[in-house]
């Protein structure tokens, strides 16, 4: 555990925050976020189309859609759940962790994601769907008693025999989720010209960059894996020289670790004195985390999205009707995926 954090918080509080974070990461964000393609239609027009789609998917439930006040091209849809009164069925299907994550966020179950199914599962059966979070279930098993998380109920679109027939071309929907623990819209083929499913912090990054007409934008959309480190080696770590004086560099990750976030910022500032941190606009996330030796002022110039910053929500239709818009927007800004943004500018004199 990081010494700077332990010194500031004390070991018991640091451990409590870590356990809280782990618990939050096992639940989906409180809002589904979509970005509107404003080149093709107005946000209001797309919002109206999406309201009609939600009415169909949710059998008439009036779930509100909010336009984000700072990110005008972003729409927010509240997630209802966890729903605790869903009756579990005898017939079960097990899906992998990646498929399970998608189901928690509104997806149906597609055939390639099904790892196991009950022995006599037929097309049209009501199925309880579980996620094998530790990856221990064997492909094609008829029963699984390992660690699993209940995702909800659905209707089987394929029989067990069809799913495990061995046909490599088997695709399409395997289970249509009808009673998910978390009620989120499915965006499979929903307004594909107008909407892009994107987490809130990811949509924020381009606004922080704030590209202007005539500027050249270089998007290095890659994690620090084999290809990126290879490129860095071939360039002799000279990439900062690509940035023109007064040019802006935005660094973002979809992680919450110090090693990939604040420590990278500290390294860049030390390695390249020509770089300076800049305030970000809009500022939606929290400030950076202690532990990398950055000053309080520098931490305030970062944006860190930590899902454990708010209590786990328990949302139903009654609470949605009573919720104030400003409270919902505040929750949407806080309860998202883990994310980090830093904005640098290259000094003019370099």
* 65/92 Cα distance (integer angstroms): 34
The reply to whether 347 belongs to the active site is no
Q: What is the DSSP string of 230-297?
A: HHHHHTTT-GGGGSPTT-EEEEEES---TTTTHHHHHHHHHH-TTEEE---SS--SBPPPSSS---HH
111 annotated ligand binder = no
* 303/284 Cα distance (integer angstroms): 7
Q: What count of other Cβ atoms lies within 10 Å of the Cβ of residue 14?
A: 15
226 annotated ligand binder = yes
Which member of 254, 274, 296, 347 is catalytic? Answer: 254
For residue 305, the cross-strand partners are 339
CB of 154 closer than 8 Å to CB of 127: yes
138 annotated ligand binder = no
225 annotated ligand binder = yes
224 annotated ligand binder = yes
Q: Which two tokens stand for residue 246?
A: 């007064």
180 annotated ligand binder = no
* 231/237 Cα distance (integer angstroms): 9
Listed residue (76, 30, 32, 41) closest to 191, CA to CA: 41
CB of 246 closer than 8 Å to CB of 345: yes
Listed residue (291, 271, 290, 288) closest to 279, CA to CA: 288
142 annotated ligand binder = no
Catalytic residue positions, numbered: 254
**Residue ranges at the known binding site:** 221-227
Binding-site entries for S-adenosyl-L-methionine:
221-227
């Amino acid at each position: 555990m990081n010494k700077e954090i332990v010194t500031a918080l004390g070991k018991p509080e640091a451990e409590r925050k870590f356990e809280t974070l782990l618990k939050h990461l096992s639940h989906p964000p409180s809002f589904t976020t979509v970005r509107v393609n404003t080149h093709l239609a107005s946000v209001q027009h797309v919002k109206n189309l999406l309201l009609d789609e939600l009415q169909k998917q949710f059998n008439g439930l009036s779930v509100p859609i909010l336009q984000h006040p700072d990110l005008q091209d972003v729409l927010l849809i509240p997630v209802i759940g966890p729903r605790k009164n869903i009756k579990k069925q005898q017939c079960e299907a097990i899906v992998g962790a990646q498929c399970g994550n998608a189901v928690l966020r509104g997806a149906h179950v597609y055939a390639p994601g099904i790892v196991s199914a009950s022995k006599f599962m037929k097309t049209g059966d009501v199925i309880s769907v579980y996620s094998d979070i530790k990856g221990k279930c064997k492909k094609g098993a008829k029963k699984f008693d390992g660690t699993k998380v209940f995702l909800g109920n659905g209707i089987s679109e394929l029989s067990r025999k069809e799913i495990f027939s061995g046909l490599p071309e088997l695709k399409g929907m395997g289970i249509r989720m009808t009673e998910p623990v978390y009620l989120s819209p499915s965006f499979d083929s929903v307004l594909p010209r107008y909407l892009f499913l994107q987490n809130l912090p990811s949509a924020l990054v381009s606004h922080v960059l704030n590209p202007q007409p005539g500027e050249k934008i270089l998007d290095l959309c890659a994690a620090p894996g084999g290809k990126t480190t290879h490129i860095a080696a071939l360039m002799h770590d000279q990439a900062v020289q690509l940035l023109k004086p007064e040019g802006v560099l935005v660094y973002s990750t979809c992680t919450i670790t110090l090693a990939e976030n604040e420590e990278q910022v500290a390294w860049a500032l030390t390695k390249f004195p020509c770089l300076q941190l800049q305030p970000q606009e809009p500022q939606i996330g929290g400030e950076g985390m202690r532990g990398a030796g950055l000053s309080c002022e520098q931490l305030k110039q970062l944006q860190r999205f930590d899902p454990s910053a708010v209590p786990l929500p328990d949302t139903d239709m009654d609470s949605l009707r009573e919720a104030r818009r400003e409270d919902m927007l505040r929750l949407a800004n806080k309860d998202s995926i883990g994310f980090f943004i830093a904005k640098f500018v290259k000094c003019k004199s370099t």
